[in-house]
Each structure stands twice: as structure tokens, then as C-alpha cells.
Structure 1
Amino acid sequence: MSPDIFYVEDDPDFAFIMQYAVKEVKEDLTVGIVEDGNTAIAHLQRFAEEKHRPKLILLDLNLPGISGLDVLKRIKEIPFFKYVPVILFSTSDDPKDVKSSLEIGANAFMTKPNGYNNLIVCMQSLYDFWFNQNRSIN
């Protein structure tokens, strides 16, 4: 079974904090976290084979091995994930990164907030839009 949110994040501390922030937003939301692009692609291929889709994919830009942009390209090559929103979630706020991400097919690009409370507010906004307001065939 795939998680509600599939998160690719190489910083274990931030990933740990993210899990708590998501639970503060909605207790029963599940988050699956992997630390690099190769592992992310392997998990996504397995999800596709098993016909399980996450409802949202959060993708860090700067990953070891395969970059977040390369993972995004691979996600977009898998027809099963065509309608799954992919959000680049990075410390970068470089307009070139934003442009590249959107050109490849990201649904949005967000800069990671500073501080736990700001992260909760950010996750609440993501949840409100992508899980409640956005109409998806997912």
C-alpha cells in the first residue's frame, strides 16, 4: 500500500520533523519517506506494479545520486502517476530551479519554511489545497 504522501528527503532530521508536522495537520495521514532518488524511483515502480498511488509526492531538489529534477522526469515517464501531484519542496528559492521544475512537470514549487510552527502552517495549506480543494482523479 502506498502512503498518502510520498516524500523524498535526504535530510533525516527534516524528514523526522515533517512526520510530526503532518500528524499535527491530520492524525491519520500516512507519510512514506525515502532518502534518495534511486530508492524513490524503485518505490514508485513498485507502487505502479501494485496499482497503489500516493495522493501527493513531495520531492526535495538536492538529493544524493539522482537529483530531484531527474526523479521528477522519471515520475512523469510513468503513466500510472500522470495525475498524482508532484511538488518540489526545497530550501532553494532560485528562479532557475522553479522554472526547471515547472517545465518538467511539477505541479508546484515550494520553499521549505523555517521553524516547526511554520512547517505545520505549510503542511496545513498543502493538505487543505491538495487533499480538500483540488479535484483529482486520484
Structure 2
Amino acid sequence: MNTHSEPLVLMADDDEDDCTLARNAFKESGARGIIRCIENGMELMDYLSRSESAPVLILLDLNMPIKDGRQALKEIKSTPAFQHIPVVVFTTSRDHKDIAYSVQMGAQSFITKPNTFGEWVSIMKSLADKWLLAV
């Protein structure tokens, strides 16, 4: 449950280093809010089902164990209670099939994970400017 007054961003990613980078870059960008990391699509769906308040944004990796991002995206966008939550696919993939699938399933954007911390900060600032300012 989101008991914080700050906007909540859920990041579904099994790579702990990427979650740490995202949190640090988010903080460095000056964005208002918090990032909560979840390890896979099954945990993401469980969290969404249990939570009393929806996140303002979901950052979704495609390649995760148990339930991958493709399965989670399809489930989110086919569940009326979750359809309104913006999903940005945030992954290492550059495969055009992954991009096409993500857009077809309703993702608002597809971003390939960056290589430098400066790029991480820039992406987090852009995401915050687009999705968190209205909150």
C-alpha cells in the first residue's frame, strides 16, 4: 500500500543493480516521488491487486523470471482496474518485435536502458516531467 504522500513509481525488474541505478538517478534528477522495485511480473500483479492506491507509473522490464514483462503488460492492459496506469517498458532489449509488441499491448513508451548514470538521470527526469508533474 502506498502510504507516502509522494507519487509512487513501481519498477518491475529482477536486476537489483538497475533498481539501485533507477532510484539514485530518480533522486539525482530532483524528481518528487519514490521508486519501489518489484522482482517480477507475478509480484507486480500481486502488488497491484493488494494495493489501495495505484502507482502513477509502472516501469516494466521485459526479461524477468516467473512472469515476464510481456505477460504482465498484457494482464495490466486487459484488467479494467489497472488499464489506466501508464506503463513504460524499460528494458535492455532493442528488438523491433519487443517494441511492436509493447506498443500493441498498450505501453505508453518503450525505452532501452542507458549505459551511463548521466543518461539514467536524464531519462528519470524526462519520465518525472511527463508522468509525475500532474500528480
Q: TM-score, normalised by structure 2?
A: 0.90
Query: Which of the numbers 32, 39, 55 marks the counterpart of 2:36?
Result: 32
Q: Are 2:8 and 1:7 aligned?
A: no
How many residues are aligned here? 131
Give the 3-state SS of the residue equivalent to 2:94 in structure 1.
coil
Query: What residue number does 1:119 align with?
Result: 120
CA deviations over 1:14-43 (Å, ceiling 9, x no partner): 111111111112364111111111111110
TM-score normalized with structure 1 length: 0.88
- Report Cα offsets for 1:78-132 as digits up to 9, x if no partner: 2222221101000111110000011111111111111111100111111112223
Cα distance in 2 for residues equivalent to 1:127 and 1:31: 11
Cα deviation for residue 67 of structure 1 reads 1.3
Q: Deviation of residue 59 (structure 1)?
A: 0.2
Aligned to 2:73: 72
Written as runs of structure 1 = structure 2, the 5 A alignment for 1:1-138 is: 1-2=1-2, 4-26=8-30, 28-47=32-51, 50=52, 52-132=53-133
From the superposition, tell whether residues 26 and 81 of structure 1 become closer, same or farther in structure 2 (CA, over 3 Å): farther
Structure 2 gap segments, 5+ residues each: none
Give the superposed CA RMSD.
1.6
Q: Which runs of 4+ in 1 moved over 3 A?
A: none
Identity %, equivalent residues? 38
Amino acid at match of 2:131: W
1:115 alignment partner AA: T
Counterparts of 2:127 and 2:118, CA distance in 1:
14
In 2: Cα distance, 1:85 partner to 1:38 partner: 18
Greater helix proportion: 1
Distance 1:28 1:127, change over 3 A: closer
Cα offset, 1:77, TM superposition: 2.4
